[in-house]
Structure 1
Amino acid sequence: MRRLDVDTDYLLRVLLRLLETPSPTGMTDAVVHAVLEELEALGIPYELTRRGAIRANLSGTRYSPDRAIIGHIDTLGAIVKRLKDNGRVSLAMIGHWSARFAEGARCTIYSDDGRSFRGTILPLKASGHVYNEEIDTQPSTWENLEVRIDEVCHSRKDLEELGINVGDHVSIDPQPEVTGTGFINSRHLDDKAGVAAILAAAKAVRDEGVELPVDCHLLFTISEEVGVGASHILHGDVAEMVSVDNGTIAPGQNTSEYGATISMQDMSGPFDWYLTRKLIELCKSFGIEHTRDVFRYYRSDAASALEAGNDIRTALLCFAVDGSHGWERTHVKSLRAVASLLALYMQSDPAFKRDRKPIGPKGDFPKQQMQYDSCSE
């Protein structure tokens, strides 16, 4: 096992391609095709579920039980909630994000007949010349937002004649920018940056011709932002799974802005004791900058996998994101650290030989290494 070179240029190219492909939950076909084309270019076989979740496979010396690495390609967005008499539309959010980060966003509305319409999401009171201080005192809620559409459109009838309907999807412009200092600013880094890191790790393994000890499935889900995610994509022979998603940079958090972060717990509970510590030990052994963190208002594909009844070990590996679900920023060093750790994880042996069987005896069940103080007098 060795630390592999990660092709940073490839990682950034794939990331920008994914960011520029709109994919709010429920409208993910285009980004599915983009990921499939990247897998084909790498020579990695795959299969699709009915709705487009992707199961790719890097073959190992043993095919079952095996492991999975998972990321999601759906993003936050919005949907048309109401056609308004003033020729604008009100919105409902897709996923969970604050209306304050929707204000001022450029967006695209997609109609049933394949046409699209550009617009801007604005608060109902948008002009200081008209409303003075009221623009600052109105609540920041989705009910106080509307889309100003860049069409000759001044009534509900105009909207209907354009072909805009309740339920039309709305994508939010990502506005990506990569700075000379390595920072990447964009919406939807969650989780397209994670997907780019997964693909970069897979490319490193393919380029180096590394032999893996077990099959490693690369899973890409299409409904994580609405809580479904991995519930419908896992292979029955997966024994352990690493979810890749964003870590949160904020006061009181411990996420590494320039390295990898291993989450010990999110709102669904602690992650697997052994698998998380295995990732930590790989970081220590191979010099990957890393931290550990605990997230309070957070869940990932790992939660939906367990809630669907899968008896698997799960861990959450994070790249850094400042301003998550808003104006997001990460750094290329963090993405590279995550990709390097994933490539090492693919080369490592499974956490336990015992995990080859879903049910086993007491004799080979592991014991957490710690000393317990006696409570007796």
Structure 2
Amino acid sequence: MNYDKNTIIDSLKTILSIPSPTGYTESVIQYLKNELNKMNIFYKTTNKGGLIISFLGKNDDYQRTFSAHVDTLGAMVKSIKANGALSLLPIGGYMMSTLEGENCTIETLNGVSYSGTIQTTKPSVHISGDDARNLKRTAENMEVILDEKVFSKADVETLDIDVGDYICIDTETTITQKEFIKSRYLDDKASVSAVMYVIKYLHDNNIKPPCTTNFYMSTYEEVGHGASAAIPPNTKEFIAVDMGTPGCEQNSSEYAVCICAKDSSGPYDYNLRKKLVNICKKNNIPYKIDIYPHYSSDASAALSAGWDVKTALIGPGVFASHGYERTHIDSILAAVDLIIKYINEA
């Protein structure tokens, strides 16, 4: 695979550094726009804030659309407590236990940011003993402790912090010498970096695909309606580029592109899956086929919205999804390779 992994890693680090919980994605979308502007690549912006980038193919009637979502998990301020702590509700399907002790940033409507830490309501074993250890890690038992000298609800209100303010959890991004990438929100920013690299590759190499090919950067995937609208109307094949999930009794891998046969929304298109697998076999791309019992994608959203498209789901393997996640550059490169080889197939 003759691809520049350093370009992918640098892009991924930048994308991960820009907070983008669902509904708060303008900054990361602007970053992508800036990158596309540098390459003089035209894009459209959807009403929901997503991006669509198109490469005209020899056949414009039969189009393919790839999606990746820029939105991530996050939280919102639910209420301000009498003692100056903030209660919170998650955005998306967090395992709340993974948030304990994490640093975060509260983004106010007036543009001022405040740092804090997410703790349980009984954070000290020296005070609560086994009650602290055994407390169920749920949203109602967790709170944000602000890094401000606040002692009451009134103190917090003077900071213009209010219900509905976004809480962005730090990513803790680390890239090891052996090219493991550890961070929150590799779902789905690992795929976003892969897709952005593919766009750059097509542009730099002046590739005209057999079919018009679109790339849809969606903004509401984590809450289920990311690609439910605004898909280019001639799309016949819709391929979501999202994480594979290695783990207990799963077949996915952090070192291969993962191809999903079925998730909780149902089976993906059989013939499209077969074509993707055959491309991997033909080109020696490491791949794994898997089934995800608690998963849906932008392709699922498109089908639920009534789009008459064939769908597939592929992506890099991401360990510990919806927690502190990990992948390897090999998995992202395999996803890039499959996407590029597929685009060039008639």
Give the TM-score range, shorter chain: over 0.9
Match of 2:188 among 167, 188, 191: 191
- 1:61 is displaced (CA, Å) by 1.7
TM normalised by structure 1 equals 0.90
Q: What's 1:127 paired with? A: 124
Check conservation: 2:67, 2:240, Cα contact below 8 A: yes
1:60 aligns with 2:20: no
Runs of 4+ in 1 over 6 A off after TM superposition: none
Report the Cα distance in structure 1 between the residues aligned to 2:314 and 2:73, rounded to whole angstroms: 20
Which shows bigger deviation, 65-74 or 124-133?
A: 124-133
- What SS does structure 1 have at the residue aligned with 2:158? helix
More off after superposition, 196-205 vs 77-86? 196-205
Question: Following the alignment from structure 2 to structure 1, what is the Cα–Cα distance between the partners of residues 102 and 230?
Answer: 33
Q: Tell me the number of residue pairs that the alignment of Structure 1 and Structure 2 aligns.
A: 346
d(CA) in 2 for partners of 1:166, 1:304: 29
Q: Distance in 1 between matches of 2:316 and 2:50?
A: 22
Q: Higher Cα Rg: structure 1 or 2?
A: 1
Report whether the alignment pairs 1:98 with 2:95: yes
Residue pairs, 1:111-126, within 5 angstroms: 111-126=108-123
Identity of aligned residues (%): 38
**Are 1:230 and 2:227 counterparts?**
yes
Matched, 1:339 2:336: yes
Q: Which residue of 2 aligns with 1:300?
A: 297
Task: Report if aligned partners of 1:53, 1:233 keep a CA contact under 8 Å in 2.
Answer: no
Query: Contact between 2:55 and 2:208, CA under 8 Å: does it hold in 1?
Result: no
CA contact 1:221–1:233 (8 Å) conserved in 2: no
Structure 1 counterpart of 2:161, which letter? I
In structure 2, how many angstroms separate the alpha carbons of the residues matched to 1:5 and 1:202?
Answer: 15
Displacement of 1:44: 2.2
Quick one: distance in 2 between partners of 1:334 and 1:235?
28
- Once residues 43 and 289 of structure 1 are traced to their aligned partners in structure 2, the CA distance between those partners, rounded to angstroms, is 33
TM-score, with length taken from structure 2 = 0.98
The answer to whether the 8 A contact 1:6-1:201 is kept is no
Greater CA drift, 177-186 or 50-59: 50-59
Secondary structure in structure 2 of the residue aligned to 1:229: coil
Superposition map of 1:226-265 within 5 A: 226-265=223-262
Query: Per-residue displacement from partner, 1:323-372 (whole Å, max 9, x unpaired)?
Result: 000010000000000001101111111xxxxxxxxxxxxxxxxxxxxxxx
Give per-residue Cα distances to partners, 1:55-99, cap 9 Å, x unaligned: 111221222221111000000000000100011100001011111
Structure 2 match to 1:218: 215
RMSD over aligned Cα atoms: 1.0
Q: For residue 102 of structure 1, report the CA deviation from its aligned partner.
A: 1.2
Contiguous gaps of at least 5 residues in structure 2: none
Give a deviation string over 1:92-147, Cα, whole Å, max 9, x none. 01011111011111111111111111000000111122112221111111100010
Distance in 1 between residues matched to 2:163 and 2:115, nearest whole Å: 16
Structure 1 residue ranges without an equivalent (≥5): 350-377
Aligned counterpart in structure 1 of residue 170 of structure 2, from 170, 173, 185: 173
Report whether the alignment pairs 1:329 with 2:329: no
CA contact (8 A) 2:22 2:71 kept: yes
Equivalent residue number for residue 30 of structure 2: 33
Offset from partner CA, 1:186-218 (integer Å, 9 cap, x none) = 000000000101111222222222231111101
Q: CA deviation at 1:256?
A: 2.0
